[in-house]
Amino acid sequence: MAELGNPKNTIAVLQKYQFNFQKKYGQNFLISPDILEEIIEAAQITKDDFVLEIGPGIGTMTQYLCEAAGAVVAVEIDTNLIPILKDTLSEYNNVEVLNEDILKVDIAKLAEKKNGGKPIKVVANLPYYITTPIIMGLFESHVPIDSITIMVQKEVADRMKEGPGSKEYGALSLAVQYYAEPEIVVNVPPSCFMPQPKVGSAVIRLTRHEKPPVFAKSEKLLFQVIRASFNQRRKTLANGLSNFGAFSLKKEELQECIMELGVPANIRGEALSLEQFAKLSNIIYDRQQERNSSQRTE
């Protein structure tokens, strides 16, 4: 039975193994059965699901996942936690623990091998120091994903939902909204963790769009344009794009592309919506194509 969410049981396991928390791994273990149940409910897991858990810790949420899902793979970087997980997950035969760094795991290959390439669900109380690379990695590597239900820093959860005009709006907001529908499930205070983090947290569910809400001729170019625009937030969009160095157009040509979009040439990137970014990337794409074909015929 899932029972580690009870703080007394967590303390007993930590003492039994004389476990020392490693700050560098962002270790804040959940000790709230109510929040654990909300996460499982929000993730809508059934016995047909294959779940990837990132950072199982001592296996608190893993126990809940094993009870709800068909199969679970949990990837944990801290070798000291592996014998503990062996113990706390001993009654479940549908879980595999991998002692690896999630940023080095080929998740698409894992999903192919374990779930025949069918969409997987990702559930995690994430280590906050690598939230953005984990999320971007899941989306950009085209892992077949149904949904991602994760605990993140509250501020990061808010950022994923923001639009133009907010100072929190940035590359992460646009990437998340391009790939998925973000929804904040519940805000979680520091008292729900051991040890308590200094920041507030929130559970957010990202449900993958069947089709992105905007059309980009090249996804790679769209994300280059987005990164270039927010790399130098205080600069104009034209300067940001021309300083980025990834486009084969001169600054004046990039300015023309911006004007073709129907916005002032001195606009800043943070003022553009996802739809405008997609249009701008398509204009740049066409210009670059024209340039390449005229160079070939010269």
Stretch that binds ligand SAM, among 19-27, 108-116, 142-150, 207-215 (CB under 6 A): 19-27
42 near ligand SAM, rule: CB under 6 A: no
Q: Is residue 76 a contact point for ligand SAM (CB under 6 A)?
A: yes
Beta strands in the chain (DSSP E): 29-30, 50-54, 71-75, 95-98, 120-125, 145-153, 180-188, 193-194, 201-208
- By the 8 A CB rule, do 247 and 241 touch? yes
CA nearest to 89, candidates 70, 74, 110, 69: 74
Nearer to ligand SAM (CB atom), residue 102 or residue 278? 102
User: For residues 272 and 295, is the Cβ–Cβ distance under 8 A?
Assistant: no
> What residues from 189 to 228 belong to the interface with ligand SAM (CB under 6 A)?
none
CB of 27 or CB of 149, closer to ligand SAM: 27
Q: Binder to ligand SAM among 43, 45, 50, 55 (CB under 6 A)? A: 55
Q: Which of 42, 50, 71, 78 binds ligand SAM (CB under 6 A)?
A: 78
Which range in 54-62, 201-209, 226-234, 280-288 contacts ligand SAM by CB under 6 A? 54-62
Instruction: For residue 14, give Cα distances in angstroms to 6, 10, 58, 72, 250.
Output: 13, 6, 8, 23, 59
Return the number of the residue (106 or 290) whose C-beta is nearest ligand SAM.
106
Coil, strand, or helix at residue 183? strand
Is there binding between residue 103 and ligand SAM (CB under 6 A)?
yes
Is residue 101 a contact residue for ligand SAM (CB under 6 A)? yes
CA 140 – CA 179 distance, rounded (Å): 9
Q: Are 208 and 179 in contact (CB under 8 A)?
A: yes
Nearest distance, CB of residue 211 and ligand SAM, angstroms? 31
- Give the pair of three-digit tokens for residue 283: 């204009």
SS3 content of the chain, % helix, strand, coil (to 5): 50, 15, 35
Q: Where are the beta strands (DSSP E) in 136-288?
A: 145-153, 180-188, 193-194, 201-208
Among 180, 152, 168, which Cα is nearest to 54's?
Answer: 152
Instruction: Give the shortest CB-242-to-ligand SAM separation in angstroms.
Output: 35
Smaller CB distance to ligand SAM: residue 27 or 229?
27
Looking at the Cβ atoms of 55 and 240, the one nearer to ligand SAM is: 55
CA distance 10 to 121: 26
**Closest distance between ligand SAM and the C-beta of residue 253, in Å?**
41
Site string for ligand SAM, 119-148 (x = CB under 6 A): ------x-x--x------------------
Stretch that binds ligand SAM, among 42-50, 101-109, 162-170, 180-188 (CB under 6 A): 101-109
173 binds ligand SAM (CB under 6 A): no
Task: Using the minimum distance from each CB to ligand SAM, give the nearer residue, 81 or 225.
Answer: 81
Q: Does 77 bind ligand SAM (CB under 6 A)?
A: yes
Helix segments in 105-153, DSSP class H: 107-115, 131-140
Q: Name the site residues for ligand SAM (rule: CB under 6 A).
A: 25-30, 54-57, 60-61, 75-78, 81, 101-103, 125, 127, 130
